[in-house]
Amino acid sequence: MVVFSRKSLMTLIPLVAALPSKRDSSPAILNSSYVNPHFQQSCDNVWSYSTDSFQYLLSLLNGTDSDFPTGWVGQNGWTNIAQWDYQQHSKLFYDQYKINETYYAYNPTGCYAYWHNPLADCYNDDAGWAALSSLEGYEAYGDPVFLAWAESVFEFVDGHGFIHQSDLDAGYLVDTKWPNTTLQATCNGQSMYGGVYWMNGAPMDPNQGGAGDPDVNAVSSGLFALLGAELCRITGDQVYCDRAYEAIQWIDRFLVRPDGLIYDHINGTSCEVKDWTFTYNAALYLGAYGVLGHITSNQTALDIAKQVAITSMNTPVWNTDQGVIFEGAGNVTQGNDAIGFKSVLIRNLHRISQWMDSDVQEAIRQYVNIQYWSLVNNDSNNPNMPIQYGRNWTGTYEVSTGQTMVAALDVLNALILNPQSAFPDTNVTNMPVIGI
């Protein structure tokens, strides 16, 4: 193994500087102020540290005060774990995945006690995340039960969240038990058909707000659309694609900002739009359109996915001028749902990259590397051998939690977009894995 001393590292610098600048070949798609990092350690090292990061997260399942996330954040963690195995052609985490996904299928808490539908609680977005996790498990490990659970969530949300013509006629979501949340058939002259309620409205606990919650959200609709698109791709059943189009076209009618990013939700009673703008809403939208465009050979859909991808990678709403996502930054010792939003953007850029033109693929690859570069150098336990990652992707690192680990794993998975030639063929270990 070649280990560079500090002195030999110094002699290496002029050599690197003499190479043509990587920035010369930067794609025009990303802002010119963005950095263009390059790997300084081998691909094998990167996979090895990354495997340790996954192992580290799994180790948090152990102990009485388990820090492995539960609920939707946990389901995103299992998604990443299965995706790692799928991409690495391994079954390293199969046993643990199966144990915990099976456990979650029958213990999602909340409204499960009322509906008894695997993976479904009171929130249709939670059910969507869980179904996508189960689908990832099916792709990685092949167990038909994982596909069956995902299909059952699709049917469940179709019946307890998706707005059908019968709901518009009735003036409320027919299949929920409390018919007292008024639904406007049209808002701003546009039909509400196809939106997906955030909650499924079981009456088991009035404090859950279920049937009393009038919000129809981008996240529940986007997840349903993406789930439908993926089920359509995997099963070949066109019905899933049709429903997915209906849900995503509802988002088109109500929640697209002038710049193409996605607003958060609309109150189905008052028609009021909430203009919060998060990474994961744009992410699900571009992911669903990317898959639908590919499966149904729809160039319009692929172009929408491409435009939202480009806007997401360049918007100052959540990117620093170096290109690092700062959404969800905050007190690093505290949890917050938004910590895991940004990683959903990385996951969905990764998802659609294969169907994009080469200049967009190159931009996505570089954007992923920028996140990894910042995580490694400013938000990890050791830039030369990063295993644990923290909350603020822009730094600085103090501590990792199960939730911050889940978010970082999406970036580690997406590094597969780099060709082998992006990594130096050396055994260097005494410098940061990636630098500029």
Ligand X SMILES: *[C@@H]1O[C@H](CO)[C@@H](O)[C@H](O)[C@H]1NC(C)=O
Contact set with ligand X (CB under 6 A): 1-2, 31, 33, 58-59, 61-62, 66, 68, 70, 74, 96, 99-100, 103-104, 178, 180, 206, 212, 214-215, 245, 249, 267, 269-270, 296, 298, 300-301, 314, 316, 319, 321, 324, 329-334, 373-374, 377-378, 392, 394-396, 398, 425-427
Residue 65, burial from CB neighbour count under 10 angstroms (0-12, 13-18, 19+): exposed
The minimum distance between CB 292 and ligand X, in angstroms, equals 7
Which of 191/394 has CB closer to ligand X? Answer: 394
Rounded to the nearest whole angstrom, what is the least distance from the CB of residue 138 to ligand X in the complex? 18
Shortest reach from residue 37's CB to ligand X, in Å: 8
What's the min distance (Å) between Cβ of 344 and ligand X? 19
Smallest separation (angstroms) from ligand X to the CB of 311: 10
* Closer of 59 and 188 to ligand X (Cβ): 59
- Residue 269 or 307 with smaller CB distance to ligand X: 269
Q: Identify which of residues 87 and 249 has a Cβ nearer to ligand X in the complex.
A: 249
- Name the minimum Å distance from CB 28 to ligand X: 12
Residue 270 CA to residue 279 CA, distance in Å, equals 25
User: Nearest approach, Cβ of 245 to ligand X (angstroms)?
Assistant: 6
CB-nearest residue to ligand X: 212
Burial zone of 249 (CB within 10 Å; 0-12 exposed, 13-18 middle, 19+ buried): middle
State in angstroms the smallest separation of the CB of 329 from ligand X: 4
Name the residue nearer to ligand X (CB basis): 154 or 397: 397
